[in-house]
Structure 1
Amino acid sequence: MLFAQIGAQPVESRLTKRAITVDDLWAMGRVSDPQISPDGKWIAYTVTYYDMEKNTGNSNIWVVSVNGGKPRQLTTSSKADFFPRWSPDGKRIAFTSTRDGSAQIYVISIDGGEARKVTALSTGASSAIWSPDGASLLFLSESYPDCLTDSCNAAREKAQQSSKVKARLIDHLMYRQWNRWFDGKRSHLFLINTDGTGVRDMTPWDYDIPPIDLGGSTDYAFSPDGKEICFTMNTDSVITLSTNNDLFTIPVTGGAPRRITENKANDNQPAYSPDGKYIAYRAAERPGFESDRLQLMLYNRVTGETRSLTSNFDRSVNEVVWAPDSKFLFFTVQEGPYYSVYRTSVSGGSPKKVLSGGFIRNLRISPDGKFLVFQNEHVNFPTEIFRADIDGKNVQQLTFTNAERVAQLDLKPLESFWFIGAYGDSVEGLIVKPPLFDPKKKYPVVFLVHGGPQGAWEDDFHYRWNAEMFASPGYVVVMVNFHGSTGYGQRFTDVISGDWGGAPLEDLMKGLDYALAHFSYMDSTRVAAAGASYGGYMINWIAGHTNRFKCLVSHDGMFNTVSAYGTTDELWFNEWEFKGTPWTNRSLYEKFSPSNFVQNFKTPTLVVHGQLDYRLDVSEGMQMFTALQRQGVPSKFLYFPDEGHFVLKPQNARLWWNTVLGWIGDWIQR
């Protein structure tokens, strides 16, 4: 089944279509996490709304029939209610809530009423799943490894918070990650009776469960008979160098963990077959490479044998769900800018495509195995929940959360073009046209560069780098999925490693040249470029290698490859991408460091960085801005003291959009 481009909505609007604004973007209800009830009649899901003036957001749980119709709001908290999971009898839903301050586990009747608080741990609790008999809940909480009771954790927390000394004495890597400093606690799996009694730490070791990174959608599961738990854990001594996540099992009664995967690369996302014979999971092959192809593996619980079901399938497996008969598995796969659904048999054979042409996530299967439920979205269509027959036919939209607002907006679909890039390979480019587009006119161009670098521009309604927002002032947005992008086969992804400023830049320039030459509505004299993360690195690299752009926007980009190595959190990434450390392979670090080409900087540049970004330290943005200023290049530095790699607070996001679009608008018309 191929998705038709979604345009029609059940809510008609007589208003003239208009361009999207940042307030529209942040007023959208963000739909996520659909969960089918055990009787197959209902879907629980989460909707998150943000209040721009209060600068806060809240999530609530909703329920809708699998046949569609008016949804019902199940929770009404002013804080966050999320991660709904049905009890085995279908009468209750467990969820995580921050309504009383810290995150805790609650249970609510499907008929509504007051939710009952199950946990009250000093370090919080989240992400609960039910035991098969419905008697207990398995959930995540942080704990000090040497604390055996919650009172010990509470005392340790209080001592840290009340101390006047905030210094840290650090003796190992890693000591901070993404946007937080480690404080000695570990994420552990806990088990509790549904009446709130008998809480116990199931993984009381000095490791994080699930791992701090590179895990799957859910990295713990009960066996169908409820006697065993499988989870993902990394036991390597230096986590910052390791992608060696493995699967372990323990009895529900407790005990020492048993490692069931010996692979030195990443293993994650365990899922028991309904008949209990197998554990499906995902596995990479190359240690240290976070973007290696993830294969779908089967572990035989009786023989201990493991085999791949996708060894000849040149795409990474994402989400995986079992068919109720345990004979087939369904999984999602990225294909260019889209995510498709495939089916494969436990007996082997080539995977068969079931659904394509959409951006499909959070795949679920009905208890009777007759239909699929999933999220779908497009660049011009915010996420909603859909269903389809098990063969991909009869696709039906079930929720219409943003239909009324979207009906007012002139949001253009994603368009594709192909050109010959580096190595003589075909490379895909993407276009989003501005609102009220007139093909007879000439429009300025905003050229966007994606991050990763092993990522891609996709047909999704992105809430940060939203293509419709970049197009809204009357710009054509052009994007290129250069060598290194995901969704085009593993070789295409691999070649960027060790060549950050080589083939990707060639692709970007050839793709832009092709678009400007072949689409007459693009004004080649008015082009701006912007990117974040690796995209920010590439903007910094572009600044030293071409003056073709009217202006540049560099968000959280790497400026100095050597200093970035010394301040990042996950060293496995830099050591893979630059083939070693700065002292073992200095030449490669120097070859592709934007800092070595400052003498060529001439293009006006806006630099953006967050203080809490520990992936690419704020000093990278500061160095870039200092270099621009020292060279006399028109430049500004938008600094966020309370944001990390992503700008996530509503009013900060509004400032970001106004500043970025204002900068582009000031320079692109000159």
Structure 2
Amino acid sequence: MKQILFILTILLINMNLNAQTKRPLTVDDMWAMKRVLEFDVSPDGKTIALTVQEFSFETNKGNKNIWLMNSDGSNLRVLKNSEVNESTPKFIPDGKKLSFIKGAQIWMCDLDGNNEEQLTDLYTGVDNIVWSNDGKKLLFASEVYPDCATQECNKMKDEEKAKEKAEYKVYTDLMMRHWDSWRTEKRSHLFLLDVEKKNYIDLTLHSNSDVPPLALGSANDFSFSPDGNEIAFTMNTDKEIATSTNNDIFIINVKDIQQGKETPYKKISGSAGNDNQPVYSPDGKYIAFTSMERAGLESDKQRLALYNRETGELKYVSQNLDISFGGLAWSEDSKHIYYDAAFEIYNSIYKINVETGENNFVLKERVNANATLSGSKLYFRQQQSRLPYEIFSINIDGTELKQLTFFNKNLLDKIEWYDIETFWAEGAEGAKVQSILVKPPFFDETKKYPFIYLIHGGPQGHWNDDFHYRWNLQMFAAKGYVVIAPNPRGSFGYGQEFTDGISQDWGGKVYVDIMNTLDYALQNYKFIDENNLFSAGASYGGYMMNWI
């Protein structure tokens, strides 16, 4: 008996010591996090290549490196690790080599990192890589002057600009700046590379439109047909793109491509809204893409569209679903599409039958993205409020969810924090409004805590179970606050009517939603100090600070 009591005492002491050694999340922790970016699964499904980014606060720089691992998460190792960013890993279709971008050019190497070969040498650089199934061709994007047909012309124009004594820009249209980038005369064009000959062709020669589009595109806006004879891509051809959401899907017959000549293309999408992300079915019968019905609305529901390549028929498979489709991945038998979509505070993974429209969850919880199918498994990135993005896998029937990478485990294990909680309150017109609640580290139910109320921007957007590097809910809580983040009218994940509820009503129903939620929280959570309340928001959230 004494021995048992002794063992229990030791265990309790160890537990107490472990609790005392943990600490709240800090800004330095945020900088120290390794960020898992894009990844690719080898054709045989045995290997995963991924990009990992690290930052240095001291040097104010970030660096991207490429890692490899077995698809079960074992044998994780660095493949490319230099002072030059290496990213965008893509396996060659035969699986024997890996392509990647380094120094704004496409390179290729063996799977042990040796025998590097540079595939492109463009003055204007390259972005993205898409291989044809036979490994003979690839697609990439590059920013060029529309009136230049050669790299020499692009270089000459840049050199002429550099000689000018004054830096200036004359704008004749409304699109002067997009987020943090000033608009220049250059446009992103789609290029085709003959891998063996190292010859490339500008497929959108002389076009004033961008491929991929400047805004509202996807991570997959150009692709080859399975037989390599056709190319699909996304482009907005409207003259005034500052007020247009009209991205469309176009196709090119590879036989029509000629060096130095404009390539003819055909539009296959039918809506006046945003169409993007063309993905060919493995059997080559369909092109699937996402499509918004309404013009000029960035937050419309993204429907799943199917274009029949033989008949030209366009079908909207998800017309009766109140779901906005995200990334698409075909099943190997071309009968289903796996996709991600916002569902309440999560970004879930679904499976839809393209013939019957039957739709089911594969994985409901957490924030999931970039689902890639290989055999009987889906590989994807997952994040949650206490976990930056890592690579996960799950069987296609929704069983055996497994975390494959643990890049930040040692750091995360040192942090004291709590998983998010949620609650629902009654908003305007009786609508149910969901909110996220985060308690501070070392929370004590008997104490009173200062409270911070966070309003998201957009105005269409939502707070979700993510690890955000700007508006991180856990970072606010780490300073001793109880944090509540409501999803009022305008939020994603609660149906299109709820999202549309903020349109032309910025201070109406959404204001009632926000204030009713606040009243509910103060009435039901006695650990909130009513005399110590704060609120914050950016973009539309900042606008709402004036109302609150």
TM bracket (short chain): over 0.9
> 1:293 and 2:301 equivalent?
yes
Amino acid at match of 2:63: N
Counterpart-to-counterpart distance in 2, 1:247 and 1:136:
21
> 1:406 and 2:408 equivalent?
no
> 1:420 and 2:421 equivalent?
no
Equivalent position to 1:356, from 348, 361, 364: 364
TM-score (norm 1): 0.77
Counterpart-to-counterpart distance in 2, 1:522 and 1:86:
52
> 1:237 and 2:239 equivalent?
yes
> Match of 2:142, SS?
strand
Counterpart-to-counterpart distance in 2, 1:238 and 1:131:
33
Amino acid at match of 1:176: R
Paired position in structure 2 for 1:262: 270
Amino acid at match of 2:493: G
> 1:47 and 2:49 equivalent?
no
Paired position in structure 1 for 2:176: 175
> Match of 1:64, SS?
strand
> 1:62 and 2:70 equivalent?
no
TM-score (norm 2): 0.94
Counterpart-to-counterpart distance in 1, 2:547 and 2:117:
54
> 1:30 and 2:48 equivalent?
no
Residues 157-556 of structure 1: pairs in structure 2 closer than 5 A? 157-195=158-196, 197-204=198-205, 205-253=207-255, 254=257, 255-366=263-374, 368=375, 370-542=376-548
Higher strand share: 2
Counterpart-to-counterpart distance in 1, 2:520 and 2:190:
52
Counterpart-to-counterpart distance in 2, 1:239 and 1:145:
16
Amino acid at match of 2:140: F
Distance change >3 Å, CA 226–CA 481, structure 1 → 2? same
* Contact 1:34-1:373 within 8 A present in 2 as well: no
The gaps in structure 2 that reach 5 residues or longer are 1-16, 258-262
- Residues 577-603 of structure 1: CA distance to partner in whole angstroms, max 9, x if unpaired? xxxxxxxxxxxxxxxxxxxxxxxxxxx
Counterpart-to-counterpart distance in 2, 1:416 and 1:14:
25
Paired position in structure 2 for 1:95: 100
Amino acid at match of 1:200: I
* Contact 1:210-1:219 within 8 A present in 2 as well: yes
> Match of 1:339, SS?
strand
Query: After the TM superposition, which parts of structure 1 deviate over 6 Å for at least 4 consecutive aligned residues?
Result: 12-15
* Contact 1:13-1:408 within 8 A present in 2 as well: no
Distance change >3 Å, CA 160–CA 195, structure 1 → 2? farther
* Contact 1:378-1:461 within 8 A present in 2 as well: yes
Counterpart-to-counterpart distance in 2, 1:170 and 1:451:
29
Counterpart-to-counterpart distance in 1, 2:409 and 2:457:
30
> Match of 1:26, SS?
helix
Counterpart-to-counterpart distance in 2, 1:117 and 1:23:
37
Paired position in structure 2 for 1:76: 81
> 1:120 and 2:121 equivalent?
yes
Counterpart-to-counterpart distance in 1, 2:81 and 2:488:
44
Counterpart-to-counterpart distance in 2, 1:513 and 1:14:
34
Deviation at 1:540, TM superposition (A): 3.2
- Residues 310-363 of structure 1: CA distance to partner in whole angstroms, max 9, x if unpaired? 111101000110001111111111101101111111212331111111211110
- Residues 224-266 of structure 1: CA distance to partner in whole angstroms, max 9, x if unpaired? 0011110001111211121111100112242301111132111
Counterpart-to-counterpart distance in 1, 2:204 and 2:29:
44
Amino acid at match of 2:214: I
Counterpart-to-counterpart distance in 1, 2:148 and 2:24:
55
Amino acid at match of 1:484: G
Deviation at 1:14, TM superposition (A): 8.3
* Contact 1:354-1:391 within 8 A present in 2 as well: yes
Residues 582-601 of structure 1: pairs in structure 2 closer than 5 A? none
Deviation at 1:114, TM superposition (A): 5.2
> Match of 1:199, SS?
strand
Counterpart-to-counterpart distance in 2, 1:295 and 1:432:
33
Deviation at 1:168, TM superposition (A): 2.0
Paired position in structure 1 for 2:106: 105
* Contact 2:490-2:499 within 8 A present in 1 as well: yes
> Match of 2:452, SS?
strand
> Match of 1:409, SS?
coil
Deviation at 1:211, TM superposition (A): 1.1
Deviation at 1:118, TM superposition (A): 1.9
Counterpart-to-counterpart distance in 1, 2:211 and 2:419:
40
Deviation at 1:30, TM superposition (A): 0.5
Counterpart-to-counterpart distance in 1, 2:88 and 2:453:
37
Root-mean-square deviation over aligned CA pairs: 1.5
Paired position in structure 1 for 2:8: none
Paired position in structure 1 for 2:14: none
Deviation at 1:196, TM superposition (A): 6.7
Counterpart-to-counterpart distance in 1, 2:389 and 2:150:
42
Counterpart-to-counterpart distance in 2, 1:51 and 1:194:
36
> Match of 1:511, SS?
helix
> Match of 2:523, SS?
helix
> Match of 1:541, SS?
coil
- Residues 495-520 of structure 1: CA distance to partner in whole angstroms, max 9, x if unpaired? 10101111222111111111111011
> Match of 2:499, SS?
helix
- Residues 508-565 of structure 1: CA distance to partner in whole angstroms, max 9, x if unpaired? 11111111110111111101111111111112333xxxxxxxxxxxxxxxxxxxxxxx
> Match of 2:514, SS?
helix
* Contact 1:13-1:407 within 8 A present in 2 as well: no
Distance change >3 Å, CA 160–CA 432, structure 1 → 2? same
Amino acid at match of 2:87: F
Paired position in structure 1 for 2:13: none
Deviation at 1:407, TM superposition (A): 0.3
Counterpart-to-counterpart distance in 1, 2:478 and 2:75:
32
> Match of 2:146, SS?
coil
Counterpart-to-counterpart distance in 2, 1:440 and 1:118:
64
* Contact 1:118-1:196 within 8 A present in 2 as well: no
Counterpart-to-counterpart distance in 1, 2:85 and 2:421:
36
- Residues 60-113 of structure 1: CA distance to partner in whole angstroms, max 9, x if unpaired? 111111112231111112232111111101111221223xxxx22221221212
* Contact 1:13-1:404 within 8 A present in 2 as well: no
Counterpart-to-counterpart distance in 2, 1:113 and 1:61:
13
Counterpart-to-counterpart distance in 1, 2:451 and 2:321:
37
Amino acid at match of 2:145: Y
Paired position in structure 2 for 1:3: none
> Match of 1:365, SS?
strand
> Match of 1:108, SS?
strand
> Match of 2:95, SS?
coil
User: Percent same amino acid among aligned pairs?
Assistant: 46
Counterpart-to-counterpart distance in 1, 2:357 and 2:290:
17
Paired position in structure 1 for 2:151: 150
Distance change >3 Å, CA 15–CA 74, structure 1 → 2? farther
